[in-house]
Chains A and B, each alone.
Chain A
């Protein structure tokens, strides 16, 4: 092919592919956001709902709760993440997998597991443990247990990305502990900052756990305008305004702490290296404890399910829910990965499109899902779009809107580790945009697998969006677990929660086998 033809092809390829990727995001996020803004305008004075002290009291309470959870998660998760990443120990992967498995469940379900453990009638419970669980501190601890693996995982990935020669020099000069404290942790700061932001955002927006543990939080205020007797989506949208400010603040904090490296530090997990710490029983104990903390609520659900015949009864109640879950989540994850592949590369190279779409999608990720759900309903429930709204596609759209930031960030994290000079060389010899993308993902195939797996997990565990929008007869497993919770046979909810964890592992395993193998063939 002649060079002029290749240049001409690149001219149309790049804008077309980027337009396609941005269209996926715009179609998913734009209409519900416009619909929500329309509701907000309908309220008139959007600041009027903030006139009461109660609103501000709840906002402060939620901020304190999220700050406590974030502080606890960082205090435990950072050393734990460095341990998992840089220490030699037996069963490392198994322990790490067990520790992060709790992230596969909507936080409400592990909390139900904690109730089976520490409630007054729980396996390890009594009046004191029940009083602690049903308190503000109990709520903070439950959320910490649920969200801690996010910090551990991101810190571990960040720690693996630290320059090996720098780490080695520090280890020789000051020993492994000083190297970890003064080189590994500071160099993993961008990943830790991102982890802090994610945990703060998830803890702040969580509704199910505080409602169950009877802790008043700000998202309940938003929800009361959508799930209460007077349906007031405009007022709910107004109450979401502080969250927009909060999202902006969190992004600013992340940028301040991580600077241009906000994405860069996440890609280092691709490289293998010798451990920093030799085997140490205390580290093994710490890791086992962390794995047990995650597994304990799931084990309680398992025991409760088995004890009450939940697994026998589950087949009667599970219906097509696993199929609905996997179908909607895998379609959404595929779309998010495709769009994220393009936008992630742009973000990694600090392209304007990538940077702005990252901000846009992160903002939506931080919004309460109920607001987004109502926006989707208003935007897509028309006779002309009934084919979408009344089918599984409505969940796909909602998941893409909510979680696409994760795909973009994951892809960017991996791509930024590849030398930019390769792309420049490919461009010089006249490779088109598509060929250059293929080159990038040939070097870092884990980018696509990671993006797919992460968005798949978050889509599978989604509860609050799904429960508002699932098509009649097409409920995903999380929604079914939640609707069966009302007077369902004892043990069935627990059994279905355990099955949900297994299905998530299975879906990830299948994706790994398919995409992972495929990427090796390429």
Chain B
């Protein structure tokens, strides 16, 4: 047998292996997630070790965070591939709920989680949360630092002109933050605010991760990003400080991750086992330690730099209304971004 035939045989055998792996349904589950791979993958692996169930995962990219995977779920609606969607926020599931793509499931593990962070009908359940924070660069601000901003409204001050960065509000948690402002401030005030922000030279980054890079690198003084990004900057040794904005009145936006069971899931039994695991106190602990996510249930130990959700003045938002606002403002936001 010559070398080419050997190569062809090896290739064919290699090709068949993953195809065969895809055909069995019993002891595996397919999960799509918009939670950062670096944080979610260890959780899935721990689940595999504990349960013996293999998890096959599709992760989201930083640039399309939360929407890339979400839109793949929508595009695959006619023949769902995913059994479980672990969302990085609680508003994307509403896009699926509205399209009747979610199977309600009330996990026994959800009992310890606050009612504000889960749907009564079991369509979604929130846990391990992030907060939207202001990251400030000591490098860029320097020693004679002006008074740091106390809330997001301060970002339109001329003092910060050209010194602020936010991620593209068409994608990721920034979408949710802007949607939350629309739901609380109303359309007129929020649009005026965003126009002022643009006029103040805000730099629109491709992702929260890039906002982190810009602030950590001192290219801007302030960035509106997620607490886990800020924590990573801190872990990487960046000279930054973290401000939980609007602790006086509006409150800081708290963003729980959330999990849903997909309607038409090909492996519903193993999917429920995975959801139960994700909602356990152990995963909230893991997420607090690895990703600085705030546990939502009481009594979960956290590292010193991770506040618990109850320590913060949280923005009072109706996540369903935030989801509506996001959709309603899409055209306007695209124009604001320049797309």
Contacts and interface: CB of A to CB of B under 8 A. Distances in A.
A327 B3 contact: no
Contacts of B304: none
A171 B326 CA distance: 68
B289 interface: no
Given A472-B82, A518-B3, A216 B338 contact: yes
A72 interface: no
Contacts of B76: 377, 381
A226 B247 CA distance: 36
B38 A486 contact: yes
Interface string A369-400: 00000100110011100110111110000000
Contacts of B36: 486-488
Nearest to A396: B15
A229 B339 contact: no
A249 interface: no
Contact of B338 (A54, A386, A474): A54
Contacts, number: 176
A382 B78 CA distance: 7
A253 interface: no
A297 interface: no
A513 B6 CA distance: 13
A465 to B, nearest CB: 13
B319 interface: no
Contact of B61 (A52, A327, A391, A467): A467
B189 interface: no
Nearest to A223: B64
A227 B11 CA distance: 34
Contacts of A54: 335, 338-339
A130 B220 CA distance: 11
A227 B209 CA distance: 17
A468 to B, nearest CB: 7
B11 A214 contact: no
A473 B236 contact: no
A224 interface: yes
B145 interface: no
B206 A514 contact: no
A391 B19 contact: yes
Nearest to A489: B38
Interface stretch (A286-294, A354-362, A477-485): A477-485
A302 to B, nearest CB: 19
B72 interface: yes
B233 to A, nearest CB: 10
A201 to B, nearest CB: 21
B280 interface: no
Contact of A382 (B2, B11, B79): B79
Interface in B208-233: 209-210, 213, 216-219, 228-229, 232
Contacts of B337: 224
A324 B18 CA distance: 9
B192 interface: no
B228 A487 contact: yes
A120 B221 CA distance: 13
Interface stretch (B51-59, B103-111, B249-257): B51-59
A380 to B, nearest CB: 9
A426 B51 CA distance: 65
| Chain A residues touching B, majority SS | helix
Contacts of A224: 170, 334, 337, 339
A475 interface: yes
Contact of B18 (A334, A474, A488): A474
Contacts of A488: 36-38
Interface in B70-95: 70-72, 74-76, 78-79, 81-82, 95
B330 A228 contact: yes
Interface in A389-438: 389-393
Given A216-B338, A486-B65, A392 B15 contact: yes
Interface in A480-504: 480, 482-490
Contacts of A468: 68, 72
A212 B210 contact: yes
Interface string B307-339: 000000000000000000011001000110111
Interface residues of A, number: 69
A327 B18 contact: yes
A483 B37 contact: yes
A383 B38 contact: no
Contacts of A475: 58-59
Contact of A485 (B7, B62, B338, B339): B62
Contact of A383 (B67, B79, B218): B79
A106 B280 CA distance: 39
A229 B179 CA distance: 11
A240 to B, nearest CB: 15
B339 A227 contact: no
Interface string A218-253: 001100101111110100000000000000000000
Given A212-B206, A214-B205, A389-B81, A227 B236 contact: no
A121 B217 contact: yes
Given A120-B218, A377-B72, A472-B56, A227 B171 contact: yes
A487 B209 contact: yes
Interface string B1-31: 0111001100100110011001100000011
A472 B44 CA distance: 13
Contacts of B335: 52, 54
A231 B74 contact: yes
B2 A521 contact: yes
B207 interface: yes
Contacts of B219: 119-120, 130, 134
B203 interface: yes
Interface in A96-132: 115, 119-121, 130
Nearest to A134: B219
B63 interface: yes
Given A381-B78, A386-B79, A211 B95 contact: no
B284 interface: no
A468 B67 CA distance: 12
A493 to B, nearest CB: 10
Contacts of A43: none
A470 interface: yes
B39 interface: yes
B75 A377 contact: yes
A486 B61 contact: yes
Nearest to B12: A331
A88 to B, nearest CB: 35
Closest 7 CB pairs of A and B: A473-B56, A472-B56, A486-B62, A227-B64, A483-B59, A211-B206, A231-B71
Interface of B: 2-4, 7-8, 11, 14-15, 18-19, 22-23, 30-32, 36-39, 41, 54-65, 67-68, 70-72, 74-76, 78-79, 81-82, 95, 170-171, 175, 203-207, 209-210, 213, 216-219, 228-229, 232, 236, 291, 326-327, 330, 334-335, 337-339
8 contacts: A224-B170, A224-B339, A228-B171, A229-B326, A230-B327, A377-B76, A472-B57, A486-B65
Interface of A: 52, 54, 58, 115, 119-121, 130, 134, 208, 211-212, 214, 216, 220-221, 224, 226-231, 233, 317, 323-324, 327, 330-331, 334, 374, 377-378, 381-383, 386-387, 389-393, 467-468, 470-475, 479-480, 482-490, 513-515, 517-518, 521
